[in-house]
Amino acid sequence: MVINAGIIGGAGYTGGELIRLLLIHPGVNISFIHSRSNAGQLVSSVHQDLSGETDLKFSDEIKDIVDVIFLCLGHGESKKFLEQNKIADSIKIIDLANDFRLIPDSKIGNREFVYGLPELNREQIKKAKNIANPGCFATTIQLGLLPLAKAGLLKDVHTTGITGSTGAGQSLSATSHFSWRENNIQAYKTLTHQHLGEIVQSLQQLQGKTDINVNFVPWRGDFTRGIFISSQISCDLSLHELNNLYETFYEGHPFTHITKEPVFLKQVVNTNKCLIQLEKAGSLLVVHSVADNLLKGASGQAVQNMNLILGLDETTGLKLKASMF
């Protein structure tokens, strides 16, 4: 079985990572990579890490003989794209933006999007035609909290997280320049981050419609890629009980792993993994979770979702080694 895939918005970071993953995927042929601003140019002239890997060129045409289309557009642009372009109902859509993640916004025309966090919705994803790929912070925070939600243990959560510069996208801004990021960190969007809605939605899906307060302070870090999350919760269960709870919840999920050793970014950068470590002092539990914002937090998870909706083993093309040294 050969999967023919198209990419809309292939010039950015998530588009580049998606191209890299699909080129090495044993079951995928990339039919087109759409980019109006780069039409006619070699993909490797924009994504120079792909030099010698592909002769594909960007196109301003959208081919309709494909099995799946990935939307790697800016937030708010995916909905506009689907409104302005007729895409056959038979073509599956995986959207990497935030346009369809929240249930009130999960439909457009005849298309209904399933929230694409496999550790939460794997069986629904297998039956879906359209996937709303989760956000990077949302993925890493949720994976740290889902077992607690399943056990009905969440009320007030205090979360801090730091992300690399690629989390801000490829367009330059004052806070994405090297000279600003180097030897510098900054809190931003304190308690108002756009991923909060999808995080609470998923936690309530497991725990029920109880009040769950997620107080999130994100940080900009002076590194390129990766997310490190620490979530603090009051909990009376012992550390042994909690580790068993987490290991049971994630049994059979190939990319999320529980460890009793301190976690750090180099374990997960360049992989589709999320590592989780629990620490406890008295009644306070701290859950550390780490992931690559461009892979498990974006393009890697999109490929994982493609594998699931098209009946492949979800790890296909995603057995990647961390860039440890």
Q: Catalytic site residues?
A: 136
Return all residues near 40 (Cβ < 8 A) that are at least 6 apart. Answer: 57, 58, 59
93 near 111, Cβ under 8 Å? yes
